[in-house]
Amino acid sequence: MTTIKFMNGETLPLEMHKVRIVQKLQLPPVEDRLQRMAEAGNNTFLLNNRDVFLDMLTDSGVNAMSDLQLAAMMRADDSYAGSETFTRMAGKIEEIFGKEFFLPAHQGRACENILAKTFVKPGSIIPMNFHFTTTKAHIVLNGGEVVELLHPEGLQVESTFPFKGNMDVEALEALLVEKGREKIPFVRMEAGTNLIGGQPFSLENLRLVKGLCVRHGVLLVLDASLLTDNLHFIKEREEECRDWSIRRITREISDLSDIIYFSARKLGSAKGGAICTHREDLFRSMRELVTLYEGFLTYGGMSVREMEAITVGLDDAMDEDFIGQGPQFIEFMVKEFQKSGVPVVTPAGGLGCHLNARAFLDHVPQAEYPAGALAAALYLVGGIRGMERGTLSEQRDAEGREVFSSMELLRLAIPRRVFTLSQVKFVIDRVQWLHANRHLIGGLRFVEEPKTLRFFFGRLEPLGDWQEKLVEKFKADFGDSL
């Protein structure tokens, strides 16, 4: 990572790129924001982006693209079968991962559909460090069960443990011994573990997991959607890899994995998905499903232009300056929050800065969705759109009871190369103001609650008039500032 010091000794995350194409933003006045939030049913997914100032909902499909990516898109080969575009993408995947068999798919969850349909049977058990929503849905849909075996430190919101995405290898061994390969078709490791705050696993941990998989004859599948963040942290935090190139760390991870899949909306900074393996038998077992659900084998539902962009984006993913930018911004946010006592997931992870809504709003019970309430409040005071990752994102159990999430987080995603440091400072400022005024924030309740994926479409209302009071205080403190 390039480290550039300032005269006063400060080290700020300095952007190693320049902005050549821009998109205008606007920040609607606070009264308008109050109205827009009510219209959106207090659900940030239902806001129109024209009413959002800083969109920190996700890093999926919204990373900035480079000049080289845009240029590559112009030379895409549109032929239905055997296109040059496919050959270039397959070549890049082989060059980086050393895997010669590649199956294209339209995005990450489409890869999960193919994997689950191929390997998961009724009664199957899939151990993983932690689930992701779409991954779990596909496994359950095919009659399987997800067993999370995260290292116990992973669920500690505040921790100094550098690899919170690690698998608990003792628990994995016990499960493999008990259930065996008849029940367990594969073990899944997720790089940059999303739902616990973008936390990495270590190379050492992956080696131990692989060792157990080999001993028990079980496949190791890697979800590499957030691989770049994990690579950054391995290089930063794992002694053995300090002097290794990103390519070498990637290859080491890849050599331990039987199958790698990823959402190219994240890894590759474009739109698409990919599965790759070095085993022809595994490739053949999945191949027909790609033609059935995605498209012909040389495009798999992706636009060829996007495939060209992914091919270049994968090269970017091997560039330390590129992969370090997001995590450095996140670390900057986390440090500022720690200084001012704002509760936040530590150590700083990838993907985004995750506020600990449970501690932030310790007066709001989980049944009143503190992370959802904090998301609504942050939009009101800053036009900032975050994503609730707590109880609202869970589903009720078979008896209709709430399933309280183990963490109540508000994710402020940092899409790669999109925001400037002054925008990030604005977010920090508004979060700090909210924290100072947190007693004004109340809970939410559903007025429309869909049975599945309620966080996408559900509509809620504030309990009482706390939002009006919050806006009143905002106006008293900020005057006519937006």
Q: Annotated catalytic sites, by residue?
A: 80, 132-133, 223, 266, 389, 455
Least distance CB 433 / ligand F0G (angstroms)? 26
Distances (CA, A) of 320 to 186, 213, 244: 31, 31, 11
Stretch that binds ligand F0G, among 37-45, 105-113, 433-441, 460-468 (CB under 6 A): 105-113
Specify the DSSP class assigned to residue 81.
S
Q: How far apart are CA 200 and CA 112, in angstroms?
A: 21
226 interacts with ligand F0G by CB under 6 A: yes
Stretch that binds ligand F0G, among 28-36, 97-105, 127-135, 328-336 (CB under 6 A): 127-135
Q: How far apart are CA 213 and CA 258, in angstroms?
A: 10
Least distance CB 329 / ligand F0G (angstroms)? 17
Among 51, 148, 190, 331, binds ligand F0G (CB under 6 A): 190
Number of residues near ligand F0G (by CB under 6 A): 16
Nearer to ligand F0G, 310 or 364 (CB): 310
Q: Which residues within the stretch 135-154 sit at the binding site for ligand F0G (CB under 6 A)?
A: 135
Contacts 24+ apart (CB under 8 A), 89-94: 89/274, 89/307, 89/308, 89/310, 89/311, 92/311, 92/314, 92/315, 93/274, 93/276, 93/314
Token digits of residue 319: 């560039």
Among 194, 205, 230, 393, binds ligand F0G (CB under 6 A): 194
The DSSP code sequence of 110-145 is HHHHHHHHHH--TT-EEEESS--HHHHHHHHHTT-E
Nearer to ligand F0G, 132 or 466 (CB): 132
Nearer to ligand F0G, 273 or 458 (CB): 273
State CA 163 to chain mean position distance. 16
Among 42, 83, 107, 269, binds ligand F0G (CB under 6 A): 107
Nearer to ligand F0G, 150 or 364 (CB): 150
Stretch that binds ligand F0G, among 47-55, 218-226, 244-252, 302-310 (CB under 6 A): 218-226
265 interacts with ligand F0G by CB under 6 A: yes
Nearer to ligand F0G, 99 or 266 (CB): 266
Token digits of residue 229: 């963040």
Give me the amino acid identity at 16.
M
Least distance CB 107 / ligand F0G (angstroms)? 3
Helix (H) / strand (E) element for 92: namely helix 84-97
- Nearest Cα neighbor of 286 from 268, 259, 255 is 259
Pairing of strands 259-263, 219-223: parallel
Residue nearest to ligand F0G (CB): 108
Among 43, 118, 202, 225, binds ligand F0G (CB under 6 A): 225
Token digits of residue 390: 């707590």
Among 45, 46, 60, 153, binds ligand F0G (CB under 6 A): 60
Least distance CB 280 / ligand F0G (angstroms)? 25
- Unique residue bearing structure tokens 């909306």: 265
Stretch that binds ligand F0G, among 29-37, 44-52, 72-80, 101-109 (CB under 6 A): 101-109
Nearer to ligand F0G, 265 or 435 (CB): 265
Buried b (16+ CB within 10 A) or exposed e, 83-119: bebbebbbebbeebbebebbbbbbbbbbbbbbbbebb
Stretch that binds ligand F0G, among 46-54, 106-114, 233-241, 252-260 (CB under 6 A): 106-114
**H-helix segments, 217-364:** 227-237, 246-256, 280-293, 304-316, 320-339, 357-360
223 interacts with ligand F0G by CB under 6 A: yes
Stretch that binds ligand F0G, among 64-72, 128-136, 231-239, 358-366 (CB under 6 A): 128-136
Distances (CA, A) of 369 to 40, 55, 225, 306, 362: 16, 21, 28, 38, 11
Q: Which residues within the stretch 307-346 sit at the binding site for ligand F0G (CB under 6 A)?
A: none
Q: Which residues within the stretch 393-412 sit at the binding site for ligand F0G (CB under 6 A)?
A: none
Among 92, 109, 188, 454, binds ligand F0G (CB under 6 A): 109
230 interacts with ligand F0G by CB under 6 A: no
Nearer to ligand F0G, 45 or 446 (CB): 45
Helix axes 370-382, 466-478, angle to 10 degrees: 40
Q: How far apart are CA 329 and CA 309, in angstroms?
A: 24
Helix axes 320-339, 227-237, angle to 10 degrees: 80
268 interacts with ligand F0G by CB under 6 A: no
Which residues form the interface with ligand F0G (CB under 6 A)?
Answer: 58, 60, 107-109, 132, 134-135, 190, 194, 223, 225-226, 263, 265, 273
